[in-house]
A and B are shown apart, each in its own frame.
Chain A
Amino acid sequence: QLQLQESGPGLVKPSETLSLTCTVSGGSVSSTNYYWGWIRQPPGKGLEWIGSIYYSGSTNYNPSLKSRVTIPVDTSKNQFSLKLRSVTAADTAVYFCVRQGDGGRSFDYWGQGALVTVSS
């Protein structure tokens, strides 16, 4: 059974870089059938797609975050990551890592989510 697990600091200071890692078990980030990505949800609010990556390194990012976000993949560790620079309080959210199936169109597996708070 595929499992995704987010890890990283739960508290980040304003203007610093938010870094999260998603470890994939029961499957491979090198699979040619899937994309891997990140979605976030501010407390009490809706879902926002951040971006996704294919094992080859090809990426797609939300234009609203594109200038600040990077999603690298490490196939040797079966992990992918999220790096969001210059964070503010508006970036406080639960961050989910996801697998994108159906040709990268829907999110069929989700991590449990990691709450990241931006505060000094």
Chain B
Amino acid sequence: DIQMTQSPSSVSASVGDRVTITCRASQGISSWLAWYQQKPGKAPKLLIYAASSLQSGVPSRFTGSGSGTDFTLTISSLQPEDFATYYCQQANSFPRTFGQGTKVEI
């Protein structure tokens, strides 16, 4: 299985801050990476697919980049509704695997 490692595990930030989350794959996955946002008690929401493609309806302050083994999710200006847990997921091979999550806190 491909292991996905996110850093940091949690980050404290303020409204308006730029936040960057990193995801590293244990082997190369080309650009087959997705990012999700999950709020407490809710299902995850797809933000980014294919490493950098913005899902329809997702604000442009979310950007994804990277290829191979190293990827980043950047929130350019943190909004109150962005406080949540973020997960990366590799889509290169089966089984699909997720990172352990990064909690963005106030």
Does A111 sit at the interface, judged by CB under 8 A?
Answer: yes
| Structural contact, B101 and A46, CB atoms closer than 8 A | yes
Give bound CA distance, A96 to B100, whole Å.
17
| Structural contact, A108 and B100, CB atoms closer than 8 A | no
**How extensive is the interface on chain A, given as a class?**
20 to 34
Majority SS of interface residues in chain B? loop
| Contacts of B74-106 to chain A: CB distance below 8 A | 87, 89, 91, 94-101
Does B44 sit at the interface, judged by CB under 8 A?
Answer: yes
B5 to chain A, nearest CB (A): 12
From A19-27, A60-68, A83-91, give the one contacting chain B. Answer: A60-68
Does B34 sit at the interface, judged by CB under 8 A?
Answer: yes
Residues on A lying within 8 angstroms of B by beta carbon are 46-49, 60-64, 96, 101-102, 105-108, 110-113
